[in-house]
Structure 1
Amino acid sequence: MKRPGNRHENIRAIITGGGTGGHLFPGIAIAESLRETAPGCELLFVGTGSPIEKRVLPGAGFAFERISAEGIKGRGALAGARAILKLCAGVFKAARLIVKFKPDVVIGMGGYSSAPVVICAMLLGKRIVICEQNALPGITNRLLSRFADWVCVSHEQAAGRLSAKRVSVTGNPVRKSFLKAVEDAGESSAGQDSASDGFTVFIVGGSQGAHGINMAVTQGLAYIDQELGIKFVHQTGEADLAMVRKAYESHGMESVVEPFFNDMACWYRIADLVICRAGATTVAEVTCMGKPCIFVPFPGAADDHQTYNAKALVDAGAAEMIAESGFTGKVFADRVVFYANHRGILAQMSKRCRQMGKPDAARRVAKVCLAVASGKINSKPLVCLCT
């Protein structure tokens, strides 16, 4: 039985974005919040059918449809032509999906795979919300934001880089599993000075792993004394799994090594130190969890946006950042041992990191999406901090 008086109960929304965890997981967080606010809503994810979409969405209980799309930026003539053909095919498939599903709002999470769906939504007169996770917006959202009814950004500095009528600084949505882990853990134990508590390092290179980080770790384990009792939890991606496992085993290090962790929040919770890329979703998750980090930005990220994502935390003393070119095995080992022996510094980093988190970001974005879906917006341009 539906609760009376909730005008949002029957909204229909399409959520679309690039096929990486950085686009998918914030979309899931928004979907969770929409379901909580409007239990009768109908939601459809649309993407390219990437491995992470196939792995995560069915388990989360969300309907999913696949379209064809491919990035164009930085491609040669032949690859660019192929990408344009895929984009056209994606537009036709997206049009059929929109006509059939009849969404009240289309929520674009960025990435090239969101382009066909958002373009069709614009052509078919559908209401559009764009979500930008990075401090430096990607090319897709820079182009599509001018057609959106509302844009939600994670970083205040991103607002001025988008051509949008209405922009709200909401923060980057984080999944409920992370928020529950924060509640369960209470005050983070990271940074406590008792050496008897042990020391756990969580190494994660994003949903697809990070070869540069993996190589530095395997080379650096030789510099870490086994007697320190440091435990490692390492998400490697598929390609480097065997190599990394062998390295931990050969050095006698206690470790949990997997290509991908579905229960990321659990591993974040027990970590004393996190070594990771600086994708927007990773930054949002560690700030909500209050975890001190060493960021190693992906050097191939578009416009070096991962460096921009990490900079605010580094400037606040909540994290350290090391370029991949300087993240050698020796540097990895030295920083791990340093922090294992200086828990008080970690405690301060943890406190500052948590202060920068926005755990209610998903609720904020969902509030905007529901307002747009129900037509409760005016035509006046607006830039605001969303509450």
Structure 2
Amino acid sequence: MNHPTSKQAIQGQAKMPRIIVDGIGTGGHYFPAVVVAQALQEREFDVIFLVRSGFIEERVAHGYGLRTFSINARPFYGKSLIRKFLFVLSMFMSVYRLHALTRHTIGLAFGGFGAVPLIVSCMINRSVYYIFEPNRVPGRATKRFASSAKRVFLGLPPVNKQDSRAVVTGIPVRKEFKRAASGSFRKKNASTLSILFYGGSQGARRLNDLALELQGLMSDRWRFTIISGTRDHERVARLKGAHTRVLPFTEKPWDEIRGADIIVSRAGALAGYEILCLGKKVLFIPFPYAIDDHQYFNAEYFARVGDALFFTEKNLSSEILSARISELLNRKRGSTKKIVKDAEEKIVNYLLSDLANEKI
């Protein structure tokens, strides 16, 4: 199917429509949302980026020059009646706040709890909405609202068959990753090997522990970098070795990933995709308590299409990890051709196609 590549496909429309992009949640939600929002702006859509006031997604959106609108969305978790009440209250307040904004507009939700107020408001106003689902196993918001969505954009091939409105686009990655992937990189010290422990935007305590244990098992040739997360940074920094660097987080993950010979990572959809975009060798350790075990299925796919191995956290030890690192390091480099690097363009082109065919 051929898709239009510019706003010229929409004949007879004097003005591009407004689209509200939900960017609320963790980095796995707001970074792909930012990339798509920028691509929409380049096609002259009127883009509003949905955030929580004072949270990191607001700072990130402003850093990329996006216009924002804030709501007080809360996650739904735990069994506490108070938390459940606060979730319901915040959702109703957010839907009310969005009501006027979602009239005669398009919604683009990127999953998680922040997607719910936008989708509900669009449904009340009978406005079209789209959903982006990064994981191979759909999240709760996607499962609940996919049947009413115009399309569901999938970051990875799904485990189970989806209906015809679901299309695999790949996961949008920031331009900085694309530049890093296309540019050359020279190590400062060719005699050393570097390993990056990358727990995603919030860190991972188990990966931190494995990194600290592994310091004593690896030769002095190895240099460690641990992205610890802010909550565990003080402890990890106190226990690190002489050849280990500990960062609470990084605002330039492409630099850290590009500089590593081996990466040990959780299997969040975005983090895994970004690593494979840079063609790196990676060992995935899925978070065992992820909803519907979605990180396991992400890791299984990443291991098939990239220079990657994956294994579960159960029965994992630093000795086993050391052996797997050696195995991966000595393995012939594979191909990552199946990693789509222009997912945002595919998503925008589907929107343009629907507009051109008067499906919106």
Tell me the distance in 1 between the aligned counterparts of 2:93 and 2:265.
36
The alpha carbon displacement at 1:377 in A equals 5.1
User: Could you tell me whether the CA contact under 8 Å between 1:199 and 1:231 is conserved in 2?
Assistant: yes
Q: Which amino acid in structure 2 is aligned with residue 265 of structure 1?
A: W
Larger deviation, residues 150-159 vs 214-223: 150-159
For residues 331 and 50 of structure 1, do their structure 2 counterparts lie closer, same or farther at Cα, with a shift above 3 Å needed?
Answer: farther
SS at match of 1:278: coil
Tell me the distance in 2 between the aligned counterparts of 1:14 and 1:158.
29
Q: Does 1:173 align with 2:172?
A: yes
Higher RCO (CA 8 Å, separation ≥ 6 residues): 1
User: Could you tell me whether the CA contact under 8 Å between 2:77 and 2:83 is conserved in 1?
Assistant: no
User: Could you tell me whether the CA contact under 8 Å between 2:155 and 2:171 is conserved in 1?
Assistant: yes
Q: In percent, how many aligned pairs have the same letter? A: 26
The alpha carbon displacement at 1:96 in A equals 3.8
User: Could you tell me whether the CA contact under 8 Å between 1:220 and 1:328 is conserved in 2?
Assistant: no
SS at match of 1:98: coil
Tell me the distance in 2 between the aligned counterparts of 1:73 and 1:131.
22
Structure-1 residue corresponding to 2:38:
32
Q: Which amino acid in structure 2 is aligned with residue 376 of structure 1?
A: N
User: Could you tell me whether the CA contact under 8 Å between 2:194 and 2:261 is conserved in 1?
Assistant: yes
The alpha carbon displacement at 1:196 in A equals 3.7
Structure-2 residue corresponding to 1:13:
19
SS at match of 1:355: coil
Structure-1 residue corresponding to 2:347:
365
The alpha carbon displacement at 1:90 in A equals 1.7
The alpha carbon displacement at 1:139 in A equals 0.8
The alpha carbon displacement at 1:112 in A equals 1.1
Q: Does 1:48 align with 2:42?
A: no
Structure-1 residue corresponding to 2:136:
135
Tell me the distance in 2 between the aligned counterparts of 1:171 and 1:280.
10
User: Could you tell me whether the CA contact under 8 Å between 2:9 and 2:353 is conserved in 1?
Assistant: no
Give ranges in structure 2 of 5+ residues lacking alignment.
1-5
SS at match of 2:39: helix
User: Could you tell me whether the CA contact under 8 Å between 2:22 and 2:109 is conserved in 1?
Assistant: yes
The alpha carbon displacement at 1:375 in A equals 5.3
Q: Which amino acid in structure 2 is aligned with residue 220 of structure 1?
A: L
- Which of 41, 56, 71 in structure 2 is aligned with 1:67? 71
Tell me the distance in 2 between the aligned counterparts of 1:316 and 1:171.
13
- Which of 310, 317, 322 in structure 2 is aligned with 1:328? 317
Any idea what the Cα deviations from partners look like across 1:272-307, whole Å, max 9, x if unmatched? 111111111112212221111111111221111011
Tell me the distance in 1 between the aligned counterparts of 2:196 and 2:234.
18
SS at match of 1:106: strand
SS at match of 1:130: strand
Structure-1 residue corresponding to 2:258:
269
Any idea what the Cα deviations from partners look like across 1:220-267, whole Å, max 9, x if unmatched? 2122232x2x2222211111112222322xx21142x22121111122
Any idea what the Cα deviations from partners look like across 1:70-105, whole Å, max 9, x if unmatched? 333553444223221221112112214335xx53x2
User: Could you tell me whether the CA contact under 8 Å between 2:36 and 2:172 is conserved in 1?
Assistant: yes
Structure-1 residue corresponding to 2:153:
152
- Which of 214, 217, 225 in structure 2 is aligned with 1:220? 214
Tell me the distance in 1 between the aligned counterparts of 2:232 and 2:77.
27
Any idea what the Cα deviations from partners look like across 1:175-224, whole Å, max 9, x if unmatched? 11111111113xx889xxxx945312122111111111112212321222
- Which of 243, 246, 253 in structure 2 is aligned with 1:253? 243
Tell me the distance in 2 between the aligned counterparts of 1:184 and 1:268.
13
The alpha carbon displacement at 1:308 in A equals 0.8
For residues 4 and 175 of structure 1, do their structure 2 counterparts lie closer, same or farther at Cα, with a shift above 3 Å needed?
Answer: closer
Larger deviation, residues 40-49 vs 293-302: 40-49
Structure-1 residue corresponding to 2:3:
none
Structure-2 residue corresponding to 1:182:
181
Aligned length: 351
Tell me the distance in 2 between the aligned counterparts of 1:44 and 1:70.
20
For residues 51 and 333 of structure 1, do their structure 2 counterparts lie closer, same or farther at Cα, with a shift above 3 Å needed?
Answer: farther
For residues 246 and 149 of structure 1, do their structure 2 counterparts lie closer, same or farther at Cα, with a shift above 3 Å needed?
Answer: same
User: Could you tell me whether the CA contact under 8 Å between 1:95 and 1:117 is conserved in 2?
Assistant: no
Tell me the distance in 1 between the aligned counterparts of 2:39 and 2:7.
19
User: Could you tell me whether the CA contact under 8 Å between 1:17 and 1:111 is conserved in 2?
Assistant: no
For residues 4 and 265 of structure 1, do their structure 2 counterparts lie closer, same or farther at Cα, with a shift above 3 Å needed?
Answer: closer
Q: Which amino acid in structure 2 is aligned with residue 171 of structure 1?
A: G
For residues 356 and 276 of structure 1, do their structure 2 counterparts lie closer, same or farther at Cα, with a shift above 3 Å needed?
Answer: same
For residues 181 and 92 of structure 1, do their structure 2 counterparts lie closer, same or farther at Cα, with a shift above 3 Å needed?
Answer: same
Tell me the distance in 1 between the aligned counterparts of 2:342 and 2:83.
41
- Which of 236, 259, 263 in structure 1 is aligned with 2:228? 236
Tell me the distance in 1 between the aligned counterparts of 2:310 and 2:343.
25
The structure whose residues are more often helix, as a share, is 1
Give ranges in structure 1 of 5+ residues lacking alignment.
380-387
User: Could you tell me whether the CA contact under 8 Å between 2:24 and 2:50 is conserved in 1?
Assistant: no
Report the TM-score when normalising by structure 2: 0.88
Structure-1 residue corresponding to 2:194:
200
Cα RMSD for the two superposed structures: 2.7
Any idea what the Cα deviations from partners look like across 1:324-358, whole Å, max 9, x if unmatched? 3334344444444x25xx6441x42xx23x22311
